[in-house]
Amino acid sequence: MVSFLRSLKAMVRSSNAVAIITFPYTVLSDSFCKRWQHLADTLLSIKAIPDEDKDLAKLLTGYQDMVGFLHVHKVAQTNSQVPVILEASTFSLKLRKRRSLVLERLNQAPVDGSSGPSSGGSGSCSSSTQGSQLDF
């Protein structure tokens, strides 16, 4: 099976085509899954959200519309010397009007209810209140 994937990868790279292979993670052994993941140019995983997960509903904004998560594990870097750095690696899947699936960057609600950065009383890095030569 691994030799088939290697030959398929070589054929796809030499032509103007795309191949998508999906498989359930639970069916195959861990060592075989790791080999497949290593051979893949792009690696995505999808996870469904359980209905009525109250802890998750507190953490995420727009939880009612979400049907799952898409996590980007690996991005193709063919013919490039610069690594691809994504702004976000986890996206939410939302179903709109029964016909379209929307990917949105995952937004978390503020934990303590504040909307901005925390405001501290002091701007120094040291814990002492007296001034010294080592204060930043």
Number of structural domains in the chain: 2
Q: Which residue has the tokens 């976000």?
A: 88
Is residue 29 a part of any domain in this protein? yes
Burial class (CB in 10 A: 0-12, 13-18, 19+), 92: buried
What's CA 17's distance to the chain center, in Å? 25
List of E strands, the chain: 43-48, 66-74, 90-96, 100-105
**pLDDT (tens digit, 9 = 90+) per residue, 36-67?**
888 888 888 888 887 777 677 677 777 777 88
pTM for this entry: 0.62
Residues 76 and 29 in one domain: no
- Which band of pLDDT confidence, cut at 50, 70 and 90, is reported for residue 110? low
Is residue 103 a part of any domain in this protein? yes
Q: What's the pLDDT score for residue 109?
A: 56
Residues 28 and 55 in one domain: no
- Percent of the chain topping pLDDT 70: 76
Q: What's the pLDDT score for residue 124?
A: 47
> Are 25 and 31 within 8 A, CB to CB?
no
Is residue 133 a part of any domain in this protein? no
Kindly list the strands in the beta sheet with 66-74, ordered across the sheet, starting from the edge strand earlier in the chain: 43-48, 66-74, 90-96, 100-105
**pLDDT (tens digit, 9 = 90+) per residue, 18-39?**
888 887 878 888 888 888 888 8
